[in-house]
Structure 1
Amino acid sequence: MDLPSLTGNEFVRRTAHFYPKFDHTLFYKLLAEFDVSPDINLKQLSFGQQKKVMITFGLATNTSLLIMDEPTNGLDIPSKVQFRKIMASSITEDRCMVISTHQVRDLDSLIDTLLVLHKKEIVLNKSLDDIGDCLLFSSSANANKQEILYTAQNSIGNNTISINNQQHNNKVDMELLFNAIVDDETTVIETLK
């Protein structure tokens, strides 16, 4: 990021007026939750702290659409936990948040709809509930071999995606699903149609 040589206070004073619904109280509250001082020059902050300031500013704009690109890159583990809490408390019916990320495990508790881009095209746009109803994600090959759509080896065995014929409730493994789409796009995508 290339932030101006301003403190957080100065940045807000010079920029917030471009956003009619900007919430100054929320900005300072979230900065405090992230443990970042608004009095330090943005250029002197670490990359992770700069990301926290920009995340905080974005949320404080109160726009109806907020787009974040790789928001958790540069954040340490405790900051990622704090990020998830802050994002969860910021979700409303009046706001759509689009998060572009390769770090899906950092955000899986926040995601309700998955959109996958591959080869410059949208190949999947479905709710996680719908995906979980169609596909079964397992850490072993205990599914019927004929129903397995994708298998990936891990250090202790196999992860599989199979057809969810019995409508088991299961958590969608977004990373495994993405790899399945990239490795063999048609099989999994056709099952989800």
Structure 2
Amino acid sequence: MNEEHWQAIVSCDDSYDGRFWYGVLTTGIFCRPSCKSRVPKQENIRLFATTEEAEKIGLRPCKRCQPQSVQWRPPDEELALRVERLIDECYQEPLNLTEIASRLFVSPYYMQRSFTRLKSCSPSQYLSQKRVEAAKRLLTETSNSVTDIAMQVGFRTSAYFAQVFHKLTGQTPTQYRAEYGQRIEQIGRKSETGS
């Protein structure tokens, strides 16, 4: 084992996952380089190019990092993806941090911390962004009132919707509709005339 491999194991570097696996001969277990289990003594480690090689000499896969699983992700990454998917599918519903955590059977604190670290925004910020993006489409593609659009995308009141929309876009919903709705109409007229 060279220094690069050792450092990948010590630092739990996930960029080495799939490039090699390591077995701990004293415990009889093999892991991914990114495994968060306690760092074993260097003299007890043996490297493998495939999981089959490790199994061939009698090592068992680690239950924590599941090295034999192709689709495996660290638990916090998996959670962040589940949060993102839930928000993408249910943003119109009355969601908040507690509700999201409850639906995913996790602690709100752990969910918030993991999602924010991995996605560079909180679940609440992501939810607001998702709702505002949906509202932008509705503002330019429909003639629905701002209040109706606010309710359609999951905001409880049009005043709060307008506040969040302005914060994220720098415009009120009405200003956005006036500016971008006209642009879309102009593009539509140009395509109809063929110029």
Normalised-by-shorter TM-score class? under 0.3
> Which protein has the bigger strand share?
1
> Which protein has the bigger helix share?
2
Larger radius of gyration: 2
